[in-house]
Structure formats: C-alpha cells, structure tokens
Structure 1
Amino acid sequence: MTTARRLRLPGIAYGGDYNPEQWPEEVWAEDVRLMREAGVNMVSVNIFSWALLEPREGEFDFSRLDRILALLHEHGIAADLATPTAAPPAWFFRKHPQALPVDRDGRQLSYGSRQTFCPSSPAYREAALRIARALGERYGDHPAVVMWHIHNEYGCHNAECYCDTSAQAFRRWLRERYGDLDTLNDAWGTTFWSQWYYDWDEIIPPRTTGAVPNPTHRLDWRRFCSDELLSLYTAERDLLRELAPQIPATTNFMVNFSFEALDYWRWAPELDIVSNDHYLRSTDPESEIDIALSGDLVRSLAGGPWLLMEHSTGAVNWQPVNRAKTPGELRRNALAHVARGADGIAYFQWRAAKAGAEQWHSAMLPHAGTDSQIWRDVVQLGADLGALAEVRGSTTAARVAVVWDWNAHWAVEAESQPSGELRFVDLVRDWYRPLWQAGVAVDFVRPDADLSGYGLVLAPSLYLVDDAGAANLTGFAERGGTLAVGFHSGAVDANCHVRLGGYPGAFREALGVRTDELFPLLPGESLTLSDGGTASLWSERVALAGAETVTSYTSGPLTGVPAVTRHSYGEGVAWYLATRPDPATLAALLARICEEAGVQPVVAGVPTGVEVVRRTGADAEYLFLIDHAGSGAEVPAEGVELLTGKDVSGWVTVPPGGAAVVREPRNRP
C-alpha cells in the first residue's frame, strides 16, 4: 500500500462484490445477517449501478444507495464504494453514439454489455467525472465508506479503440513522446516499406492492414492505450481526492494468465492501495502456481501488502468449460493469496445472480443457499481470516528477483518473430515453477529496479530492454550478483530496433557469448542435451566469448554447440540459457544457480506440493504452509499455529489438503 491513505479496517478485509440492486429490498436484511455470520467486514458496492443512479443525464437518484450504505454501516460492514463508470447506461450511448468503441477492423461495437466505451471519448470522460463528483460530494464523509473503488477492471473489454477520436488522442500522445516527426520516423524505422510520415495527421492507429504492421508503431499503440486508460483513472481519483482526501482509492488490476493490456508498473504508483482480481483456468493442472506467481507479482507492484478484490468460490462462467473447485480448494486458494501478501480476500460476488450474463458464476452465497458446501467453506474461511488478523501489514523478504516487463511482453509476442510460439508468461512461469516447488521466495522487478537487496536476478524473457535496464542488470552481475538470462533476451532496444553485432544483443558482453544465427524449433520438435535432458522451442548457434559451456546439444544441426553457459563477469556471474530445457533439467539447473548464489528455501526439506511462504511483521514472523498435494506434511516450526490456536514445538502438522500458519518469534534460531 503506497501512501499514507490506509484502509481504516482492523484485521484482514473479507467480503466481495455486493449488488443488492439486483434483489428485492426485503432480501437485504438477510444479506447483512449472513454477512455477519460469515465474518464479512467489507463489501464493494455500486460497481455497475450507473443506470440506476443517473436515470437521465444530470439527474441523480441516490435513495437506494443511501439505504444500502446505511444498512451496511448499521451492521458494522464497511463499504468499498465504486464509481460505476465501467458500464455507462443506454441513454448515454443514444445521446453520444460517437463514444462507442471501434475494433481493429473498423466495426463500431454496440452497447448492451459492459466496458462499451472509447477510452478517448470526451463525452465519456465528462459523464464519468460528473457521476464521480456526485458520489464524492454525497458520500465523501459517510461513515460506512472506507475506500473508493474507481471503475472496474480497466481495459477488460475495451483496452484498444481504433476510432478517429482515438487516432487524434494517439497523435497527441506521440507528439509528447517524440516532439517532432523526424524523431518519430527514426524511432519507428519508417524508411522500411515507405512508411515515412510528413504530417501528424497521416498517423493512424495500427488498424487491420494487408500485411504485417510496423512493430514500433504497434508497440507505441500498446503503450498509448495503457496510458489513456490510466489518465481516466487518475482523473477520477484526483477528483475524489479533492472531495474526500482521507479516503484511499484503488482500482482492481487483473494480474492473471489472460490479461496483458496494461503496464501495471506505470499504474501501481498511482494507487493508494493496490488490488487485484485473479481467476483460475479450468485447464491448468497446477493453478496453485499461477496463484503464487500472480500474488508475488502484485505484492511486488504494491511494494508490500495488497488486496485481492475478486476471485471465485467455485466455477466461473466465461471459460469453455467452467469447473467447480475441489474439496478444500477454496480455502487453499484464499490462504495462498494471504501468504503472498494479500491483506484482504474478496470474491465476485456475494450472492449468486439469478439473471444476467454472470448468472452461472459462483458466489459466496450460491443459488443453493446456505445448505451448500460453498457456504460452509465461506463461513470457515471467515473464521480463518479472523484468526489471522495479526498477519495484516506484514511483508515478505526475497533474495531472488525475476524481471517482468510489459513492454518486453508486448514486443516478443508481436507478429513476424523468429518463432510465433513464444509466450512471455509461459517462459516466466517455466522458471518460476521450480522456485515455487523448492520454496524459494521471489520478488518481481522492473529492469531498472534497485537490485541491491538481491543475490540472484533472473530474466527468463526480456526480448526488449532499454539501455538503462540493460546496464542495470549487467551492472548487478558486475558488482558481485548472479544474473541468469533466457534466450532471445536483449535482442531489441526500446524502439524494437535490433541490437546489431550478434545476439543476445544488450547482454553479449556480460554473458560472454555471441550468437550469429537463431534456430527456433518446430512444435513437437526437441533436441537432446549433454546433461541427459532435452530442449524444445528454441536453439541458437552460440559461440563462447569468455563464457564456459555448462550444457551442449547432442543432436540436431547444433550438435556440440553450447546450450547453457556460465561466465565470470566482474565480481559476479552471468548465466545464459539459449534454449528451453525440459522441466526437470531446468529445475536442476536453477537449483545449481541458486546454490551458487547462496539462495536458500524458506524452510529446507519440505515435501513436494507443500507451498511455503513466510511473512515478516514487527514482532513476529508468520510461516504459511499449504498442502496442494493432498498428502499432508510434518514441517519444523516453533511458535503458535494460528488457525487452531495450538502451541507448536519442533514440528507442525499440515493436514492433507489443508494449511497451517505458525506465528514464530522474530529471534528464531
């Protein structure tokens, strides 16, 4: 949480999206009674209520919201009050049809769902600020309101709009970035394919065209779209901060497998409290790793504790097949988020909807009512979070940093790469997975971050890196750190221009290697390695330039060529992985790198499948142990197990499929 504006709520926040406007008012009393039973202490309200609050332009009706907030306050439940600007009403689009978004193919989309507006529309911005102001003026000192929930999931459905209004905004953004057309033409490499621009009005968004678009044009478009949505958030935030300076503001990020539209390194400093939505893929057999990776990344964005604003009690409604959670999974998921720094656990939504697009999405109170396993699990989780109240505000320390950059993410997955099979998140997760299995604590960092507190920095996929970021990473190794870099990293600069002289570009000197040609592999193709493992996806003709060979290829056209290298650089060491080793081989390699770097797991000898995380508070440390394998475990620990209240001396028992959280003294041996 990034500023002095803190959430005025004791303990861990617990609740979910509350949409009482979808139900008869007589249901509300039952809702608050059951919330108290479940241990709910905060709900998000008003997220999609614009049409009810402003039935006609400039005419407001707050009577329903007045009663909702009064009822919550009467029962001791805090409100995370949203500005409902993610879903403008139908009357707005009838009056301002030009505010509807246009897709890449030039089709104007219709209203009738959510997020159906152009982020650059002046009419939308004016209307959004009008209703935000009305809410701030009416509820800025309401005793129930403890946080502003600005908008909802920015960019979820309208991250990009290709209309003429967006084109004008894009040109303004480019003028601020480059200053003049000569600088832009140079940055974009517009001498290629006769793309030179002589007038700013010639520049349009990267709409559908007959061939491959200019990669720098496309990259700057992604940057612009992220910034344009951010400007909407900061406009609402600044207005509410003026009206109610004591109330912190957030908006819910979507740091999960499916969303890549926004550069959250730029967004996070603008939030008083960083919050995130996270949902599981039904097809992911190791979704617990996705939860951990997301949680570590959000904690790193926040610089400390954060809030989980949405996840699901069971099945979602938007995947091809929406699977329910297995017994105990609801609890394990929530506690894993807390372990990774979440000081609040919330769901979409409180009561399962009987109508609308999300009627088959699970909720805290399901269609079956209180005679259901989900409800019993929700009540149990409320008790668990109550027992963990003292954990709030504690932090996590890590000696390993993983480099994550949205610009590199966007660039490596652009068209006309040497391989269209490269997926940034998959490559990062390849390296994260063995660290998670080994119980090694991890932070995520920008390429230009302060690395002084780390012993090991990993850059699994950093295709694009600017000069400052490259110098920061190589300087870390030169000053005594251990740096490991994945293939196809350092290849291009901030403008997507290839760094000449051989690959891996910006990292050649530090890694002590030079590649003159890339040999990406076909889907299903693999090569054997000298250490007995296999490699897939990628290979390259690496020549040593000071480094030593750790592993080489033993099959294919590159037989005998280095696949993994190690280089003493300055006072440190730099490793290069020029291919994608199989999981077991990669795990063994990263274990060796960690050992050489002096990196230790949180607790040694914990069985595979038991997640281990430690949060550190002012007076105690909190050891989280979560069994995802279903076998249970005995783990060395001393202190008090908070979920049961039992003293722990020597060993703590983690039940099969269960969890334990041990308060340990700060001066433990």
Structure 2
Amino acid sequence: MFYGADYYPEHWPEERWETDAHLMKEAGINVVRLAEFAWAKLEPDEGLYDFSWLDKAISILARHGIKVILGTPTAAPPKWLIDKHPEILPVDNDGYVKGFGSRRHYCYNNPVYRQYTKKIVTAMAEHYKSNSNVICWHIDNEFGCHDTTVCYCDNCLEEFRKWLKERYGNINKLNQSWGTVFWSQIYKDWDSVIVPRKAVTSHNPSLLLDYKRFSSDSVVKYQKLQIDILREVTPDKKITHNFMGLFNQIDYYQLAKDLDFISWDNYPINHFSDKSDQIAANIALSHDVMRGVKKKNFWVMEQQSGPTGWEEMGRQLKPGEMRLWVYQSIAHGADAIVYFRWRACTFGTEEYWHGILDHDGVPRRRYHEVKQIGQELQKIGPLIEGSEIKAEVAIIRSFDNEWAFEIQPHKRGFKYMEQIKKYYKYFYSRNIPVDIISPEDDLSGYKLVLAPGLIMVNEKITDNIKNYVRGGGTFLTTWRAGAKRWDNRMNDQSLLGPLKDLLGIDIEEYSIIPDDENINIIFGDNEGTANVWFDVISPVTAEVLGEYKSDYLAGKAVITVNKYGMGNAYYVGTIPSDGIIKELLDKVTEKCNVSVTEIKGDEGIEIFRRIKGADEFYFVLNFNRKPSTIIIDKPMMDILTGKYINGEITLEPFGIKVLSNK
C-alpha cells in the first residue's frame, strides 16, 4: 500500500532534503507527489528547461526507498508565459480578464496555452520516461478549483459554436431544441450564437445547460491532450488526477474515463467545512462518489494532516483524529494515502495551511501520529491489497440533472446534492454500503437503486432504469422525475414523461412549499413534514403508501409504489422529514433483502467492509468524542493487536478497529 506526502523541495534549501527524506522513511512514507506547481522552476524561461534540482530531489528520495508521483505543472502558468501571451488568461461572465497572481489562471480552450502545455508535458515525459523511481503521472491540479471550469473568452465562443454544430448538426435543430422563438432569440447561423455572459436577466436554461456541458467537455479534452502525450512517451507509467469529492462543475464520469485511476483531496476539518454534525457522513459520501466515478478503488492524493487556511485558519486536529479520517478513507476504498502537505510553507497564499511538520520542520505530535499510522499500515496493507467494496445499494448522481437544478433550483436555496445527502444519511447510519453511480451504469447487480432529483431523462437512461426494474430490481425516485427533456426544456407530455408507466401515477398539481407554510404527511405509524416541494399524486396502477394530512391536500397521495415487471418502483413526491425517510427505507430495504452488517454499534460508529475473495475486513470507526460500544457476535481477529475479540467492546473517542473474519 502506498503511504505518502505532497512534497515541495523547491520551497526549502537543498541541504534540508536529506533530512526530510530520512524523516519520511522513519514515518513509513514510501511515495511523494512532486512538482505540480513548479513550472517556473522547471522552465525558468521559454525553452530553457532545468530538471537538475528535481533530479536531485528524486535521487535523494530514491535512496530512502521513496517513489515519486510527478505532477504536470500546468495549474500555474509562469509569469514569463503570461507576459508573452496575456490572451491565455480566462475571462469572467462580465467580460473581464482574470489577472495573474494566484493559480489556475488559464483558459482550457486557448490554442496558445495548449501548445505550451504540450511542450512542458513532452519535455517532462521525455526526461523521466526511463526513471524507474517515477511511478505515476499526476495531471495538473484540481481542475475547476476556484470556479475556473467556465471561461467566456473569444476562444471559448469559437469552440462552443463548433461543439454545438457537432451536437445539433444544423442551426434550425438548435433553435428548436432550445426554444429560441421565446423572447426573439432565434439564431440565424452559427456565427450568431453567444456564450452566456452576464445579460439583463436570466439566460435561456437550455443554453446555460449546454454551456455547462461544453465547459466540462473542454476540461476533459484538455486533460486528454496531456494524457495522449504521456501514454505515447511513458506507456509504463500510470496516470491520475486529483478530483474534489462533491465538486459539481465537471462531469467526473467523463473526466475519469481516460485515467488509470482517480485520486481526490480529502479535507474533513477545514476552514471551508460544513459545520454540521454530518461531517463524517458527508466525507463518507464523498469517498463513495469518488469510488463510483470509475467503479473502482481510488487514491487520496491530499489527505488532511493539520489545520488548513489561507487568510483564515481551520481548527487543529485533535489527537487520533487524523488517524480516524485516514482509516475512513481506506475503509471506503482508498488504496493509497498521500498527505497534504509534508511541511507548512513559510510564504505564499497557503502559509497557514499546515502539514505533517510545522513551519520550523520539527517533528511533533502530528508527525508521530503519521508514523504510528505508517507502522499500522505495514500490517494492514498486505492483507487488504486487492480488496474492494461490494454494495447492494446504489444512488444515481447525474451531473446533467445537478446542473439543471443549479440553473433553476425551483425554490431559493435548494441544492440537488442536499437531497442525495438525505437519502445517503439513512444508509450511512445503518452501515449499509452504497455505490454512487452514473445513470448510464449497469444497474443489474444492485438490489436497490435510488435516483433523487431525476428531472431530466433521455431514452438511454429511461431504458436502463426500466430494464432494471422489469428484471426484478427496486427503484426509488422523487419529485420532478421525468419532468424535462435532456435539452432542459419541459416535456409536453403529462408529468413524469417517459417514466409515467414505470411509476404508475399521475401528478395532479404541484408547488414549492413556502418557508412559512407547514404541510404534514403520514407514512405508516410515522407523522412528519413535507419540505421544499409537494406533488399531488393520483395513483393509476400504483399503491399509496403515504398521504398528506394538511389543508386541501389531506388524504392525497405523497408516496407510492408500483409493480413493474418483476420489480417495484417507488415515488416520493416531496422531501420528507428524516423520520419518514427512515420508515420508508426500512420498509424498502427489508422488502428487497438488503444485507446489514453483523457488527452492531452505538450511534456515531461507522462500520464499513472491504472484501477479498472469502476474506472480509471490517473497519470500525468511532466518530464520537466519548467512549462507545460495539457488539461482535462471533470471534474476529483484531489485525492491529493480533488478538481475537468477541462480545461487547468499548472504543475510545476517535478509536478504530480493523477486524478480519479469519
């Protein structure tokens, strides 16, 4: 198992590098990421390459048994390049050029920048193609970070028109699909099509959705430019990129396709963090989203190792907390842990973003915790190598649908991902593993598939879902399902569109729910509330499971199930309160026989399983700040202690167990 740190030798005197490598080896570190922001050091002037300092750093690390992930430095174009070609800089939706002075200051579609990208990537690939210490390429850094997915420059306008022409074929088809007859927006030819810079009021929602799709595709295309070079010059080295969890500006399913594996950057406790008590569940969801983009295990390329911060700082990690987050990462499918960063920098924007070592480079508590984890992973790594997560439940995440709700959230403040979190929270609280998948993925291996917020469907997605249910699967979707076509315009059919026969209902009427209005619903013995939205459902072939209790809605259906082929399709016409969701999913998971873990634990204890053949490994994580209890009903091996345990076991705050069924 790879265990490492992001290292920036260019930030420190060369005489320190040997000390760093020695401390890394002592901590069990066997891999580092290098050079992803070092373009100005690698190419101090155009065509003048200097790899000597990087060669020396790699050589020192190699003497200590440490391999290298080498970053292409394209996330930070150097000043000399911007001075020569200021047209590389991106343009915001007001039409203003974003200036030099931070990072990610480039347009993906700029032809000049693409040429310079080819040059630096080719030079690095040629130089390191025979270096066995370089095991992997890391492309760029956090594509889209700082709202840099979308640019509105003239290069993007030209490329957008080409993209649309390829998609629609002729301008009349585009006009019809977008409905440009509305507000006299009809385009006479491709040269008259615009990019959606700031206008007097809202743009056409179909234009906005296509621009999000185009912008995402531009990132994918730019990444592939680099991948193609690296594959040709260094075919023996793997290629990855560091994704950002729940980030939604790029279609991660598409971005992942050309990579050997994906990585992501995991900062559970940072200065941007969700301050709710759901941080552990949200990070678990992020891991599962990352595992789902390629349906395979992943790396964590930036694992939090200290307080974070730029102008403001996050809090210190408490003793044992870093270890807890590391083990959660591994439990959910991480095959490598790489900390950000090795040492806190004494200058620049991130000087308050701490690493394993503080600014003075002296090993302290966090270093010793990293060292402890390194020693533990030497025991665990060989056992879990090749293991995977096997989930019986999947939740569909559709970037297109997320973008559609971002463009038109229906109710102020509503976010597509918040509804997914609500349903995910149920499975997380019961320690039921979940895959987060694309709507086009094969569904046949799952007992239950949920698709909250599936407002747009196309023929391929519709057929995929219907075939799954027809064959015996259980499917659950929610309000607005099928209400729109794939081009983000409303269906002219009755609501639910092509999903109507699957769900067996009609929608009589619908509305947002104002914040000052309470609507009660009842499901079984549980009474709760409807939130954000309500559908008034008229069953056709479906069975009513839940009803409204308020006002003129009283007695009207809100939750239904329809028999379709050999399977069942559930519809939830609102966002119910947590108690209703729990009772509903209790019923659904029992009916489709979803497995639950044999280990029982107090609330706040996460239990997650990795499987390798007949071997099962249970990661038991106490996110409570108090001692908590688990109950094991058969003897299991505690891998860290080498002892068998059984019965009632107490875990200390932030405590962990890694258990084996053998």
TM-score (ref. length: structure 2): 0.95
Paired residue secondary structure (2:439): coil
Name the residue aligned to 1:623: 618
Percent of aligned pairs sharing the same letter: 36
Structure 1 249/641 Cα, relative in aligned 2: closer, same or farther at 3 Å?
A: same
Say what the alpha-carbon RMSD is for the aligned residues: 1.7
Where do residues 647-662 of structure 1 align in structure 2 (5 Å cutoff)? 647-649=644-646, 654-662=651-659
**Which letter maps to 1:304?**
K
Q: Quote the offset at 1:318 in angstroms.
A: 5.0
Partner of 2:367: 375
Give the deviation of 1:502 after TM superposition. Answer: 2.9
Which of 552, 555, 561 is the aligned partner of 2:547?
552
d(CA) in 1 for partners of 2:513, 2:318:
37
Matching residue of 1:392: 385
User: How far apart in 1 are the matches of 2:659 and 2:58?
Assistant: 37
Unaligned 5+ runs, structure 1: 1-11
How big is the shift at 1:283? 1.4
2:457 pairs, out of 460, 465, 468, with 465
1:641 paired with 2:638, answer yes
Instruction: Output the CA distance in 2 between the equivalents of 1:319 and 1:509.
Output: 54
**Retained in 1: the 8 A contact 2:343–2:355?**
yes
2:407 is matched with which residue?
414
Query: Structure 2 regions of 5+ residues with no counterpart?
Result: none
Match of 2:589 among 590, 594, 610: 594
> In the alignment, which of 89, 93, 98 is matched to residue 109 of structure 1?
98
**Structure 1 Cα separation of the partners of residues 517 and 106 of structure 2:** 44
The answer (yes or no) to whether the contact 2:411–2:512 under 8 Å persists in 1 is yes
Corresponding residue number in structure 1 for 2:395: 402
- Letter aligned with residue 255 of structure 2: W
Quick one: which of 129, 136, 140 aligns to 1:140?
129
C-alpha separation between the residues in 1 aligned to 2:315 and 2:573? 38
1:243-392 correspondence runs (5 A): 243-256=233-246, 259-280=247-268, 281-317=273-309, 322-367=314-359, 369-370=361-362, 372-390=364-382, 391-392=384-385
> Which residue pairs with 2:109 in the alignment?
120
Partner of 2:527, secondary structure, is coil
Structure 2: distance between partners of 1:457 and 1:619: 26
Asked whether the 8 Å contact 1:17–1:43 carries over to 2, the reply is yes
- Separation in structure 2 between the aligned mates of residue 101 and residue 439 of structure 1, nearest angstrom: 44
The residue type equivalent to 1:266 in the other structure is Q
Equivalents in 2 of 1:507, 1:320: separation in Å? 48
Show CA shifts across 1:138-160 (max 9, x none): 11111210100111111213211
Q: Which residue of 2 aligns with 1:4?
A: none
Q: Aligned to 1:152, what secondary structure does the other structure show?
A: coil
Change (3 A) 1:528 1:359: same
Tell me the alpha carbon deviations over residues 216-257 of structure 1, each in whole angstroms, 9 at most, x when there is no partner: 11111111111111111111111111111100111111123x
The equivalent residue for 2:231 is 241
Matched, 1:167 2:157: yes
Describe the shift of the 1:302–1:448 C-alpha distance in structure 2 as closer, same or farther (beyond 3 A).
Answer: closer
Q: In structure 2, what is the equivalent of residue 210 of structure 1?
A: 200
CA distance, structure 2, for counterparts of residue 321 and residue 68 of structure 1? 30
1:645 maps to amino acid: G
Q: Secondary structure at 2:508's aligned position in 1?
A: strand
- Deviations 1:177-218 (CA, angstroms, capped at 9, x unpaired): 112112211221211111111111111211111121111111
Aligned match of 2:82: 93
Quick one: structure 1 residues 150 and 190, their matched pair in 2 at CA, closer, same or farther if it must change by over 3 Å? Answer: same
Instruction: Kindly indicate whether the alpha-carbon contact (under 8 Å) linking 2:300 and 2:334 is maintained by their aligned counterparts in 1.
Output: yes
SS at match of 2:257: helix
What residue number does 1:522 align with?
514
Q: What's the secondary structure of 1:574's corresponding residue?
A: strand
Contact 1:87 1:114 in 2 (8 A): yes
**Greater Cα offset, 48-57 or 172-181:** 172-181
Offset at 1:116? Answer: 0.3
284-293 vs 500-509, which moves further: 500-509
Q: Is the 8 A contact 2:205 2:488 kept in 1?
A: yes
| 2:157 partner amino acid | A
- 1:512 aligned to which of 504, 511, 535: 504
| C-alpha separation in 2, matches of 1:123 and 1:470 | 42
8 A Cα contact 1:276 1:298, kept in partner: yes
Question: Which has the larger displacement, 580-589 or 82-91?
Answer: 580-589
**1:62 aligned residue:** 51
> What TM-score comes out, normalization by structure 1 length?
0.94
